[in-house]
Amino acid sequence: MTVTAQRPAAGLPLGSILVDGLLAALVAFALAAPMIGFETVDGSGGSLGLAYRFDAVAVAVATVFVGRLALSAIRFGHALPVLVVAAAATAVALAGAVAGTMLAGLLAVPAAVLAIRAGIVVWRGVTAERDVRFVVPDTVRGARRAVPAAFLALAVLFPFLPFVDQRLLDIAILVLTYIMLGWGLNIVVGLAGLLDLGYVAFYAVGAYTFGILANWAGFTFWMALPLGGLMAALFGILLGFPVLRLRGDYLAIVTLGFGEIIRIVLLNWYEVTGGPNGLSNIPRPTFFGLPFRASPQDDESTFADFFGLEFSPVHRVIFLYFVILVLALIVNAFTRRIRRLPVGRAWEALREDEIACRSLGINPTNTKLSAFAIGAGFAGFAGCFFAARQGFISPESFTFIESAVILAIVVLGGMGSQLGIVLAAIILIGMPEFLRELNQFRMLAFGAGMVGIMVWRPLGLLARREPTIRLHPAGAGRPGGAA
Amino acid sequence: MEYFLQQLINGLTLGAIYGLIAIGYTMVYGIIGMINFAHGDVFMIGAFISIIAFALLSILGVASVPLAILLVLATTMVFTAAYGWAVERIAYRPLRGSFRLAPLISAIGMSIFLQNYVQLLQGARIKPLPPMITGGILLTEGDGFAVQINYTQMIIIAVTVTLMVAFTLLITRTALGRAQRACEQDRGMAALLGINVDRTISLTFVMGAALAAVAGLMFALYYGVVDFFIGFLAGLKAFTAAVLGGIGSLPGAMLGGILIGLIEAFWSGYFSVEYKDVAAFSVLVLVLIFRPTGLLGRPEVEKV
């Protein structure tokens, strides 16, 4: 990233800035007028009525106009005043949002984006637009070694911290499930470079394997867990074999199609899957055969009895927490190890250059297939755990949007970065649980975030798309591998 | 036989709608080589804008149905085109020259954003559009089963054919079409020869969105219900149509659309309605495995 010289701040071409702002406002009006200006409501006698929201259109257009002017001002070297005004506007809007005005909350978002943008320009002292990207400072990079250990320690101690209650633990389990899924998908997307939009299908296969085996053959969680993973991996091979020859974006759409096919089959195969009602009565996991119950049934001993503890429902939650923690850590350790094995290196090499790999004698289909199957297998394990935790599964839980969420975690984290995925899962899954009131904006922010990350930091929050090994060590090789 | 004929008519109507959406996919893929995942949602926005325009016209007291449809057609195309332009400008243009999957991921984000944007603004419930055009022509009758082509279906097919002709002329005869084809072949060279590549790409998105808007209007007229989620499935099937016809080829997109419409109609007519989406996706998978270039596509040569 080059640093360009500070342009002189003198002389704003006011005319062209104004025209630019007006054009942006015009586009904003065209976008806002039909969709924001009118709301379709039920009219009399089955016809469609309209409600009007012209004030909201005016606010939207004005916001775009002012924002566009401010961006121009930043570009022409007046970042500091913009920063001050935008920061003040953010503060006022946030105060209004806390006081309960929805509109203020919505206005706080563009104001904050503007403030961050201006702040970066002021801080880095550059004006060129291309350089205004979020860059992780070196101090953060240096801390990268210590952070995983700290995270691990925190994760192990988490259930025993004094302020942790059952609700927090539930959220932590959810986040860990997504971390595991993210790490699993990372093998496929981050390492092997195959965009898989149907990952949730394998999660569903794992969950339904357990659900069906439990309902028809009385399997317990620990018996079904390996089978769930194997089954999902098998599906991965079956689905992957015909389609892995395809180019990246075709592959994405085909995997999406497969994900939908599996969901539709689950929805319609009533006899086995229960259709839209799903499967219930899935047994909870036991502690090596010791169930978590208040009172023992037919002369078994419960977990609480065996260890001489007072029964508490939290025991089971803590146990589930550790199960998913261990499962996730297995995926993580596996990934870190396999990156150093020939097959892991072949994945990364394939991601970088398929033709070169082929000429070096790597079989692309088999190599991709192994990544696909292993990633699918981990999703199967996670699915088994999900079924055991919920005790109930239905096709509702396995829609395309879940695949998109998992993909967003991997992308946001920086494809290939293990720690980035943890951070992204905490931000994307954990945060919204605390902001339930804002739930209706959750997916909106989600989509906008995916676009924003791609535009501003296409390599993710903590990007490390560097191959694990390279011929010429970093610094000696070609300049600027990862931004 | 009568049943077959009826399914044929239904399939052609459906296929016309898919074909109009598929053109947007195929043009964008041809020119910048990306799958515009948000295109299905642009179609959904077109459907919403058209029902809003219908409601507005009925409040304003426009009683003539043909006039209303023409007015709605024009407004929907203009406003939806603005969405197509904005999507390209915000989510794709900054990503030119980024790594290959970046625009696709950005497009998925855009698709999620647009769906939730519409859900927030217009509500999650299904929006009904009262039937505008009733009646039809009875073609044949036999065994107590009447084959009917109703006026809505006729309008859909007529509008689609008209647009296809206009569009083919636009691509083959005008300066804009020439610029587009030039960008498709070699963007760098086209820029050197004085073609404004960014503008051409923007116009491609605008045209694709305008056609999707027409499809949205037709969808609303035909089914009479619209919700914020229709774009996902319709988009996926239209993409299937574009691939089936050979991505990058305009007649291919139309042919693929009609084939997908027919497959869906016959599958629901003769086998099972529940699995009609599975049929469409299976076609996609089979085509990609056995003939990745589609029916009318050119083979893609990979050069080192």
What residue type is B301 in one-letter code? Answer: V
Is B281 a residue whose pLDDT tops 70? yes
Give, as one character, the DSSP assignment of residue A160.
G
Q: Which of residues 333-372 of A touch B (CB under 8 A)?
A: 355
What are the start-end ranges of the E strands in chain B?
A: 127-128, 136-142, 145-150, 225-226
The Cα–Cα gap between B278 and B260 comes to 12
Give the residue extent of every domain in chain B: 14-228
pTM for the predicted model, two decimal places: 0.85
Look at A215-224, A330-339, B56-65, B134-143 and tell me which has the smallest mean pLDDT.
B134-143
On whether the CB atoms of residues B86 and B259 are closer than 8 A, the answer is no
**CA A225 to CA A385: how far, in whole Å?**
8
Backbone phi, then psi, for B147, in 5-degree steps?
Answer: -90, 120
Which of A30, A50, A455 has its CB closest to that of B95?
Answer: A455
**A276: contact with B, CB 8 A cutoff:** no
From chain A, pick out residues whose CB is under 8 angstroms from the CB of B129.
Answer: 48
Structure-token pair, residue B258:
């009609």
Could you tell me the pLDDT band of residue A229, with boundaries at 50, 70 and 90? very high
Beta carbons of A260 and B289 less than 8 Å apart: no
Shortest alpha-carbon distance between residue B140 and chain A (Å): 33
Q: Using the predicted structure, report yes or no on whether residue A319 has a pLDDT greater than 90.
A: no
Q: To the nearest whole number, what is the mean pLDDT of chain B? A: 86
- Apex CA A402: angle with CA A396 and CA A406, to 5°? 155
- Residue A469's pLDDT band, with cuts at 50, 70 and 90, is low
pLDDT at residue B134, as a whole number: 75
Distance from CA of A442 to the nearest CA of B (A): 9
Chain B residues with CB under 8 Å of A250 CB are: 243, 288, 292
Say whether pLDDT at B209 is over 90: yes
Q: Return the DSSP state at A159.
A: G
Report the alpha-carbon distance of residue A182 to residue A288 in Å, rounded: 28
Q: How far is CA A15 from CA A18, A68, A193, in A?
A: 5, 14, 47
Residue B283's CB is within 10 A of a number of other CB atoms, namely 22
Confidence of residue A483 (pLDDT cuts 50, 70, 90): very low
Higher pLDDT, A408 or B100: A408
Amino acid, res. A18: L
Confidence of residue B185 (pLDDT cuts 50, 70, 90): confident
- Per residue in A238-272, pLDDT tens? 888 877 877 767 788 888 888 888 888 888 888 78
Give the confidence band of A300 by pLDDT, cuts at 50, 70, 90.
low
Give the model's pLDDT for residue A132. Answer: 40
Q: Which residues of B touch A195 (CB under 8 A)?
A: 101, 104-105
The answer to whether the Cβ–Cβ distance between B86 and A264 falls below 8 Å is: no
The answer to whether B85 contacts A40, with C-beta atoms less than 8 Å apart, is no
Contact A447 B109 (CB under 8 A): yes
Question: DSSP per residue over A55-88, as a string?
Answer: HHHHHHHHHHHHHHHHHHHHHTT-HHHHHHHHHH
A48: three-class secondary structure by DSSP: strand
Maximum average pLDDT range among A374-383, B87-96, B245-254: A374-383
Q: What residues contact A149, with CB distance under 8 A and at least 6 apart?
A: none
Strands B225-226 and B127-128: antiparallel
β A48-52/B136-142 pair status: unpaired
Of B282, B200, B213, the C-alpha closest to B243 is B282
pLDDT of residue B105: 84
Return the residue matching tokens 């009118």.
Answer: A38
| Average pLDDT of the residues in A308-312 | 71
Greater pLDDT, B245 or B146: B245
Residue of B nearest to A33 (CA): B79
Neighbours of A374 (CB within 10 A): 24
Chain B residues whose beta carbon lies within 8 Å of the beta carbon of residue A448:
109, 113
Hey, what amino acid is at A56? Answer: A
How many other C-beta atoms lie within 10 A of the C-beta of residue A308? 6
* Residue A219 burial (CB count, 10 A): 20
Is B60 or A182 the better-scoring residue by pLDDT? A182
Q: What per-residue confidence (pLDDT) applies to A279?
A: 83
3-state SS assignment for residue A115 = helix
Rounded Cα distance between A72 and A76, Å, is: 6
Q: Does residue B154 have a pLDDT over 50?
A: yes
Distance CA B44, CA B228 (A): 7
Q: How many contacts, defined by CB atoms under 8 Å, are there between A and B?
A: 182
Task: State whether A454 and B292 contact (CB < 8 Å).
Answer: no
Name A290's bridge partners: A287
Which residues of chain B does A256 touch, with a Cβ-Cβ cutoff of 8 Å?
236
First to last CA, chain A: 8
Which amino acid makes up residue B194?
G
Instruction: Supply B288's token pair.
Output: 């990609």
- pLDDT over 70 (residue A297): no
Query: For residue B180, what are the CA distances in angstroms to B31, B104, B185, B202?
Result: 7, 21, 9, 10
* Mean per-residue pLDDT, A45-52: 74
Chain A residues within 8 A of B51 when measuring between CB atoms: 40, 48
CA distance A397 to A393: 7
Question: Which residues 30-59 of A have a C-beta within 8 angstroms of B?
Answer: 30-31, 33-36, 38-40, 43, 46-50
How far is CA B26 from its chain centroid?
Answer: 10
Whether B76 has a pLDDT exceeding 90, the answer reads: yes
More confident residue, B53 or A297: B53
Q: Look at residue A338 and tell me whether its pLDDT is greater than 70.
A: yes
CB contact under 8 A, A261 and B86: no
> Which of A295-299, A435-439, B185-189 holds the top average pLDDT?
B185-189
Of A47, A267, A404, the CB nearest to B58: A47
Which residue of chain A comes nearest to B240, CA vs CA? A253
Q: Considering only the beta carbons, identify the residue of B56, B106, B292 that sits closest to A454.
A: B106
Asked if residue A417 lies in contact with residue A462, where contact means CB atoms within 8 angstroms, the answer is: yes
Burial class (CB in 10 A: 0-12, 13-18, 19+), B83: buried
Question: With 70 as the cut, is the pLDDT of residue A482 above it?
Answer: no
Band (pLDDT 50/70/90 cuts) for residue A478 is: very low
Contact B31, B201 (CB under 8 A): yes
Q: Is-contact B216 B43, C-beta < 8 A?
A: yes
Q: Are strands B145-150 and B136-142 parallel, antiparallel or unpaired?
A: antiparallel
At A435, is the pLDDT very low, low, confident or very high (cuts 50, 70, 90)?
low
In tens, the pLDDT along A52-107 reads: 888 888 888 998 998 888 888 887 777 788 888 888 888 888 887 777 777 777 78
Under an 8 A CB cutoff, do B109 and A448 touch? yes
* Sign of the CA dihedral running B220, B223, B227, B232: negative
Cα–Cα dist A375/A184, whole Å:
5
Rounded distance between C-alpha atoms, residue B224 and residue B130, angstroms: 6
The average confidence (pLDDT) of chain A is: 80
Q: pLDDT by residue (tens digit) across B9-40?
A: 889 999 999 999 999 888 888 888 888 889 99
Q: Do B288 and A254 touch (CB under 8 A)?
A: yes
Q: Are B7 and B266 in contact (CB under 8 A)?
A: yes
> Which conformational region is residue B195 in: left (phi greater than 0), alpha (psi within -120 to 50 degrees), or beta?
beta
Structure confidence by residue, pLDDT tens digits, B137-151: 777 776 667 777 888
Query: What is the predicted ipTM?
Result: 0.84
Distance from CA of A220 to the nearest CA of B (A): 32
Query: What pLDDT score was predicted for residue A477?
Result: 40
Report the distance separating Cα A461 and Cα A165, nearest Å: 30
Residue B262 to residue B269: CA distance in whole angstroms: 10
Look at residues B241, B265, B268 and name the one whose alpha carbon lies nearest to residue B254.
B241
Average pLDDT for B103-127: 88
Contact between A170 and A430 (Cβ < 8 Å): no
Are A291 and A284 in contact by the 8 Å Cβ rule? The answer is yes
Q: Is A188 within 8 Å of A210 (Cβ atoms)?
A: no
User: Any residues with CB less than 8 A from the CB of A285 and at least 6 apart, and which?
Assistant: A220, A221, A222, A319, A320, A323, A388
C-beta atoms surrounding A160 within 10 Å: 8
d(CA A261, CA A271): 17
DSSP H helices in B224-249: 230-245
Do residue B112 and residue A264 have CB atoms under 8 angstroms apart?
Answer: no
C-alpha neighbours within 13 Å on the C-beta side of residue B70: 6
CB contact under 8 A, B55 and A35: no
Average pLDDT over residues A301-309: 70
| CB < 8 Å from B in window 113-132 of A | none
CB contact under 8 A, A38 and B83: no
Per-residue DSSP letters for A385-442? Answer: HHHHHHS-B-GGGG-HHHHHHHHHHHHHH-TT-HHHHHHHHIIIIIHHHH-GGGHHHH
Of B79, B91, B103, the CB nearest to A34: B79
Partners of A49 on chain B (C-beta within 8 Å) are 55, 59
Please report residues of A whose CB lies closer than 8 A to that of B224.
none
A468 pLDDT above the threshold of 80: no
Pairwise CA distance, residues B57 & B73, whole Å: 12
Per-residue pLDDT, A125: 65
- Give which of B33, B4, B37 is closest to B21, Cα–Cα: B37
Task: Indicate the residue of A33, A256, A440 with minimum beta-carbon distance to B120.
Answer: A440
Side chain identity at residue A113, one-letter code: V
Write out pLDDT tens, residues A121-175.
Answer: 777 765 444 444 444 444 455 556 677 788 888 888 888 888 778 888 888 999 9
Which sign does the torsion angle of CA A131, A134, A139, A143 carry?
negative
Contact across the interface for A444 and B59, Cβ inside 8 Å: no
